[in-house]
Structure 1
């Protein structure tokens, strides 16, 4: 079995690493005043600062900063054919200075290309954009959208408004033009300029943040559907990463039911929400929920259309890393091949898997 891992977190060893890619103005600003990015209020996490204890390189830098270590721990032993880098850079999008945010995103993208994508042929990159400035975001997509190693546009789940609103439509037009998925990764909820991470304020503990990620994704998913994004941009593909999987099933049932009763309010929504999910949305597998009754696993997988819409994601090197060998119970051959390889190959335009496994 070969694998495409759709959520591999690389990082920069320190802010100075991106200085060669930053305009002089911002380099000097960081040197004199510091990075100037609002940090998250609650950073308590699992593992060691949220990472696997064994993922820290010997030089003392952060996990995800050492390509040989990543290769030896994850890419090589698990036969990862392609790893989609998603970074640790959501912080670049939470400053009110959109010019600074755009400069940071460009610098981080260029750093990723030179120090990661050009060093290992298995890796593919994500274009970070200043999501709160669509003009600047489109400019960055136009700059890198044709780069053969950049395969998606990446944005944090935490943002100023739901992603279906027309404020973001120029970004989706650019994504469609370059055939790039728009991928949302958990992060930045309640940080910097973003509103509270929940509808009732700030939780006290990380376990609450983690348990409530789904409500942020629920807001974005409903917004995409009812604002008519997929009618305006029918080729747009949206990926939801790192907020679990099985919550999607009852949520789609709920959306379908309410759409039938209230469709007069949004007559431009031509299909059931669950149908848009099946044509325009994907979900990353990590962290897939452990069902209390093994007999429930396959019905839940069918209810979230996993055969066609699920992408394998390991979340390396985070503490709740999912090994491709251990994340799932035994599945039928077609389902396993689709989740572990074929769905991502179709989404990202990567070569089809010629090696068949069980």
Structure 2
């Protein structure tokens, strides 16, 4: 008979909970914290402030694609309550950083619509304003955050100028663009961006969004889709095109230190993609003699991919071999996509895996890519 059974008023001692290690979350959508586009007004030249006040942002959006019960894709229980930017930051600290023991969180922006407009000067002004806002209201206020440099990818020269302007700031760890693009990212049109990334020792990140919006072409080779579920599948296909473009155009022979991050397009599709690319390279290498290695080797050396949204095979025993096939131990990084409706909890997203694999995915791969320190907060949060 237990002590509690002998004396019902005696409360049994709670078992000691061993808290798990801290993590790096590689996809957080948090900027601006408050006010949306209007929060950027103080950082814009007067010319554009007046235009914003008269005509609004004039930036295409994908809001109509979201039909998930949230607000603009935000999970209802992740909506920041009323208050100022300090209140918003405190809420995020409590509900994300502290709760899940996030040692570092990589902010990947909020809206990539500025990547879809033909007015490149306006795009450059807005992306600069976003970066300045991020420095003042996020990076200077919370040391656990790192951020992505927003750039006007429509104009690679202006993009390179912006990377050089803020690239030395220790809070910025990559330059970021939308998946939707006028040309595949291996095209030489974008070389000034990669030159700037290499100069500043920054990865180039591609985040799903804006496929088929504004000046970007349709999201599929067959045209536009009708439903959000179709659109989500099309995103991976476009990311696959960028992957192949980088490799077959020979970008990494020209920029051997460049790293590319593919964000929020899933991950397991990469296995058959690189298998197919290796086979085609062997059969057709006379078309691209500058591609000196099998495409899978370029993928291993130059690409990193984030986990969300994770594709889970119908048979659990298939998961581990597919993780091996995408070189998860070196190339995969955890991402939650906070605060979006399809947020992946770090506690629940992955099936059970080895301690070594967990450590690489949840911390070490991102720390190595972004030059982050080894963890300081060994314990905390709710446990993983």
TM-score (norm 2): 0.90
- Which residue number corresponds to residue 7 of structure 1? 27
Tell me the distance in 2 between the aligned counterparts of 1:66 and 1:192: 31
Instruction: Find the counterpart in structure 2 of residue 105 from structure 1.
Output: 127
Match of 2:343 in 1: 321
Does the alignment pair 1:215 with 2:220?
Answer: no
- 5+ residue gaps in structure 2? 1-20
SS in structure 1 of the partner of residue 338 of structure 2? coil
TM-superposed deviation, 1:177? 1.1
Matches within 5 A, 1:1-358: 1-12=21-32, 13-40=35-62, 42-49=64-71, 50-59=73-82, 66-353=88-375, 355=378
Which runs of no fewer than 5 residues in structure 1 stay unpaired?
A: none
* DSSP-derived class of the 2:262 partner: strand
**Relative to 1, partners in 2 of residues 1:60 and 1:188: Cα closer, same or farther, differing over 3 Å?**
farther
SS at match of 2:152: coil
Which SS does the other structure have where 2:104 is aligned? Answer: strand
| Structure 1 residue 213 displacement after superposition | 1.1
Question: Contact between 1:40 and 1:192, CA under 8 Å: does it hold in 2?
Answer: no
Kept in 2, the 8 Å contact 1:127–1:141? The answer is yes
* TM-superposition CA deviations, 1:264-289 (whole Å, max 9, x none): 01000000010001000011000111
Contact 1:243–1:286, Cα closer than 8 Å, also in 2: yes
Q: 2:4 is matched with which residue?
A: none
1:23-51: CA deviations, max 9, x gaps?
Answer: 00000011112211123384224241311
* RMSD over equivalenced CA pairs, Å: 1.9
The Cα shift of 1:170 comes to 1.0
More displaced, 286-295 or 102-111? 286-295
Max Rg structure: 2
Conserved? CA contact 1:51–1:318, under 8 Å: yes
